[in-house]
Amino acid sequence: MTTRFERCAALSAWLPLAACAGTTSPGTPDGAAPGGDGPAADASVPLTPLEKACTPEVELKLTDTDTTRQRLFLDVSGDDPEAFMQEIGRGVCRILYRKPEEVRDATKLTLIIEHAVGDVAWKGGDGAQIEVGISTDHLSNVKNQGRQVAMEIKGILYHEMTHMYQHDDSDQGGVDGGLIEGIADSVRIRAGFTPNGAQPDKGGNWDDGYTTTAFFLNWVEDHYPDFVYKLNLTMDERDGKKWTPEAFKTITGKTVEQLWADYIKP
């Protein structure tokens, strides 16, 4: 059963809805920065139009009722998980976009923290409203391996929230999944949260997806500034045009095959 949680202002914590009944606020200013070590916006600085376009409504569902496992997420997000996730959304868009009118219409994120044994994370839904899940089983494994849980959570959210905001040519049947996943990991890596142990893999193909494609895209970005930004715009589902890999040549002057050949040169 899903238990709905919300931030209980009087207790500076996220609790079941019923637990907040009858409490009163101690006077914490609205917009106070969240605790923990997550990214947080400075409430005294107005959001830019681009940041406003990338600040979704957030609903947190803690379906894992084990409080020790819950803390693996809440200790990172601080006392305001909504602000924590909204700032990651803005971070994604600062990489993918330059103008608010370029942003895909995405308005609500439901984040599910679930004890899903053997799973890592997942995304459901499309368009304006999506769900993202993170498994506390995975977070427990990360902690037990001596890795940084905060880095993993932020990395997962940068990847999954990229799926929320990136264009994917959905009106024309969609873009190959390998490229979509590659862009999501490209953003994750550029934000500073490279997946554990990930290294460039030049033995596959450019569209193999995830970090194989991500490191390639970031190499192209190094040689052609703003490449990923421009590539994302070519997939805009509102333009009525079918996306093709010809976009690589339009942006760089080289086909994707030529770029890949340059990338894998010894």
What is the pLDDT at residue 10?
33
55-94 burial by CB neighbour count: b if 16+ within 10 A, else e? bbebbbbbbbeeeebbebbbebbbbbbbbbbbbbbbbbbe
pLDDT in tens, 19-37: 343 333 333 333 333 333 4
pLDDT for residue 23: 36
Checking phi first, is residue 123 left (phi over 0); if not, alpha (psi -120 to 50) or beta?
Answer: beta
Within 10 A of 196 (CB to CB), how many other CB atoms are there? 12
Question: What's the CA gap between 199 and 84, in Å, rounded?
Answer: 28
Among 39-43, 55-59, 75-79, name the one with the lowest average pLDDT: 39-43
pLDDT at 126: 74
In CATH terms, is domain 1-23+34-165 a member of 3.40.390?
A: yes
Average pLDDT of span 60-75: 96
Distance CA 179, CA 141 (A): 28
Domain with CATH 3.40.390 in the chain: 1-23+34-165
- Helix locations, the chain, DSSP H: 49-53, 67-77, 81-96, 136-144, 149-165, 177-190, 210-223, 227-233, 246-252, 256-263
Sign of dihedral through CA atoms 130, 136, 137, 139? positive
pLDDT for 151: 97
Nearest to 201 by CA among 190, 185, 225: 185
Q: What is the mean pLDDT of residues 50-58?
A: 94
pLDDT digits (tens, 9 = 90+) for 232-263: 999 998 888 899 999 999 999 999 999 999 99
Distance, in Å, from the CA atom of 209 to the CA atom of 216, rounded to the nearest integer, reads 10
Whether the predicted model's global pTM rises above the 0.85 cut: no
Kindly report the length of the chain. Answer: 266
> If you average pLDDT over residues 120-135, what whole number do you get?
88
Tokens matching residue 223? 């040689």
- CA quadruple 137, 193, 189, 229: dihedral positive or negative? positive
